[in-house]
A and B are shown apart, each in its own frame.
Chain A
């Protein structure tokens, strides 16, 4: 297996993903559903994954600069309100811009409290999470109630930005000429596994919002910015050893401010995306529903790295996407078996590393999930809502020791103190 370990990371992760799809293909054939690998599932996964991804990247900028940001949720709420208001009043792209601005305001509060005044990061985050819904509700009561179709809890319809269907892959138009739909053609062939892969791919390249493209482009961009530029190096030193940065003449406060403000901007963008027609098409009170926290979970799952965050966002977006269209409940039921298989995998992995306790724990959990799967026909519909949180807990339980957060993450930094 050394050849596999020596392979470049992107190749290994592609292999893991393909293996995951293979398991999904096998499992769904047991439950007589095709939801697990349908194009609509992967499309929903992407749509639900984008706000999680953006929030997670937001967390990355903040925590790499050493500031824990559990206020992401609040900043996201500000993003939904400002995004909806901007979209309704000025047009779709203005909605995005104002959503970002709303998030930046939340980020600025967090930055002032934690960096300038040295308040504990968690406390400031909790305060922002209390403040932000209040601001959104107040603004809604002042402004949306005066617009036809709006009320204190919701906005009128929000317009959306355009989308793109890829030519050749998904049959998008190439100028005036309609290109062939390659993935759609394979997906219809009903070839085992291959058609499933094509179908999942098809969902991710048809009618993709420009905002989604922007969000996905941010992943490699973040990686480049953080690990290939002087700016990124300086920002990261603020999260690892701020005193060391200070000794090199870096203005640590300034970099922390930049990190937290970008964090707020991305959380705001995530909020604007939720309010856009890609997901809701409307501002609704309470619509973020803990997605900011799932974004944090994706950040932890992804070990504070952009592609890891992307992986976490898609993984956590997947059950939401499934649950949305799974009216019979069969697909959510199948997911339980997938969980059981995943836990069994963890158990085997732990055994090969000689971690007996972990292996037993994972084995018991796996057996429990399998027992649940085989003893029931359906699972409660709340399962899809809690699955991301359960997965994060499990990841933390088994891999918390392997994760490596920035060394000075969450610590108070005062210039000139050690």
Chain B
């Protein structure tokens, strides 16, 4: 039995590793074909990433990706596709940053207030798709795609102009956005904590305080899904909704709650950027929601897996910046790598799943033969 467990672990790990190797090979071929040296390019990236300042940047990018991954994973756990993480986090971040700039509250409470606003907006927006699914039979994939477009090119595009602060450039960061949030609404950076174990962080890089929030979200997800009645119902509904219903799980309620939870977590995705700038930028970082879906898929909806995937995607995003300076290759190669990784990973997981099923069937058949009649 122990042997079988080891094999199973091996199969599980083999799939993502294969996917990443496959992505390395294909992108190397692409680089070679375009006349670049892949070894030099990847060498530059790894070299760049081993610097402390780059690592801080990587963690700063991994933080929202991890949160977005958890948001998508909550839906995936019960076979719900929340494609709308993208729209939810942009809308939630904007509203939260704006509302947060209107009040002056005591330090911790102010930040909590902003977080609650973000989670409420994200949850409500995603919950709408959930309600449409259970009351009107609208597929959540389609409705969240439509709601994405309505949020991004409609609500956010419009509200950012309404709420844009009068002075064009704020806080010396050279970016335009909403009115700055008072100091009390922002989390301090974690440089002090980091520098206990490392040297001093230079170049004005700051490790985002949202990392703490991300870790709490991760722990919360882990406990909620694996250790609570609700998590059991959620997973049961995902595996077999009819059986779950027979077991007393109200499927409609579960759909709405899962969507709200997923959206509430998605609402936090934009906050690291808001927190580092002090306001919501008129040109915010986009695409975190879609990458978050990829992160959840690569991480198999498990907390640890999502964490590692978020780091991998963040590494590719950030360390490729160095390619612009060394000229070893076009930095766009990493977007191709991300796409290939995710496509290869889902294929590899599917192949592994089928291999496992075959094995189980064989084992069951063998057990039947051995069992006395």
Chain A interfacial positions (CB closer than 8 Å to B): 70, 109, 112-113, 117-120, 122-124, 126-135, 137-138, 140-142, 152, 289-290, 293, 296-297, 300, 380, 382-383, 385-386, 389-390, 392-393, 396-398, 400-401
Which of A112, A124, A382, A392 touches B154 (beta carbons < 8 Å)? A382
Which of B132, B145, B154, B333 touches A397 (beta carbons < 8 Å)? B132
User: Does B211 make an interface contact (CB < 8 A)?
Assistant: no
Chain B positions within 8 Å of A152 at CB level: 332
Would you list which residues of chain B between 172 and 189 have a CB under 8 Å from chain A? none
Contact of B294 with A130 in the complex, beta carbons under 8 Å: yes
Q: Give the number of chain B interface residues (Cβ < 8 Å).
A: 42
Rounded to whole angstroms, the CA-CA distance of A286 and B81 in the bound complex is 24
User: Does B291 make an interface contact (CB < 8 A)?
Assistant: yes
Which of B145, B150, B336, B347 touches A135 (beta carbons < 8 Å)? B336
Which of A120, A134, A142, A396 touches B335 (beta carbons < 8 Å)? A134
B67 to chain A, nearest CB (A): 18
Chain B positions within 8 Å of A119 at CB level: 346-347, 350
Which of A70, A112, A113, A392 touches B141 (beta carbons < 8 Å)? A70
User: A113-B347, A297-B146, A382-B154 are known contacts. Are A130 and B136 too (CB-CB below 8 A)?
Assistant: no
If over half of A's interface residues share one DSSP class (helix, strand or loop), that class is named, otherwise mixed; here it is: helix
User: A131-B336, A396-B143 are known contacts. Are A141 and B330 too (CB-CB below 8 A)?
Assistant: yes
Contact of B347 with A117 in the complex, beta carbons under 8 Å: yes
Rounded to whole angstroms, the CA-CA distance of A119 and B350 in the bound complex is 6
Contact of B335 with A138 in the complex, beta carbons under 8 Å: yes
Contact of B339 with A389 in the complex, beta carbons under 8 Å: no
4 cross-chain pairs, A with B, having the tightest CB-CB distances, nearest first? A131-B339, A134-B335, A386-B154, A138-B332
Chain B positions within 8 Å of A134 at CB level: 332, 334-336, 338-339
Rounded to whole angstroms, the CA-CA distance of A126 and B75 in the bound complex is 15
Q: Mark B141-183, 1 if CB is under 8 A from A, else 0.
A: 1110111011001100110000000000000000000000000
Rounded to whole angstroms, the CA-CA distance of A296 and B139 in the bound complex is 13
Rounded to whole angstroms, the CA-CA distance of A137 and B147 in the bound complex is 26
User: Does B351 make an interface contact (CB < 8 A)?
Assistant: yes
Contact of A127 with B342 in the complex, beta carbons under 8 Å: yes
Chosen A-B contacts, 9 in total, with CB atoms closer than 8 Å, are A113-B347, A117-B350, A119-B346, A131-B335, A131-B339, A138-B333, A140-B332, A141-B330, A400-B136
B76 to chain A, nearest CB (A): 9
Contact of A113 with B339 in the complex, beta carbons under 8 Å: no
Contact of A396 with B350 in the complex, beta carbons under 8 Å: no
Chain A positions within 8 Å of B258 at CB level: none
A394 to chain B, nearest CB (A): 10
B302 to chain A, nearest CB (A): 16
Q: Mark B235-267, 1 if CB is under 8 A from A, else 0.
A: 000000000000000000000000000000000
Rounded to whole angstroms, the CA-CA distance of A289 and B81 in the bound complex is 21
Rounded to whole angstroms, the CA-CA distance of A120 and B141 in the bound complex is 13
Chain A positions within 8 Å of B157 at CB level: 382, 385
Residue ID in chain A nearest B152 by CB atoms:
A290
B192 to chain A, nearest CB (A): 36
Contact of B136 with A126 in the complex, beta carbons under 8 Å: no
Contact of A122 with B141 in the complex, beta carbons under 8 Å: yes
User: A123-B297, A141-B332 are known contacts. Are A293 and B136 too (CB-CB below 8 A)?
Assistant: no
User: A296-B142, A396-B143 are known contacts. Are A123 and B136 too (CB-CB below 8 A)?
Assistant: no
Chain B positions within 8 Å of A393 at CB level: 132, 138, 143, 146-147, 150
Chain A positions within 8 Å of B350 at CB level: 117-119
Contact of A70 with B333 in the complex, beta carbons under 8 Å: no
A307 to chain B, nearest CB (A): 21
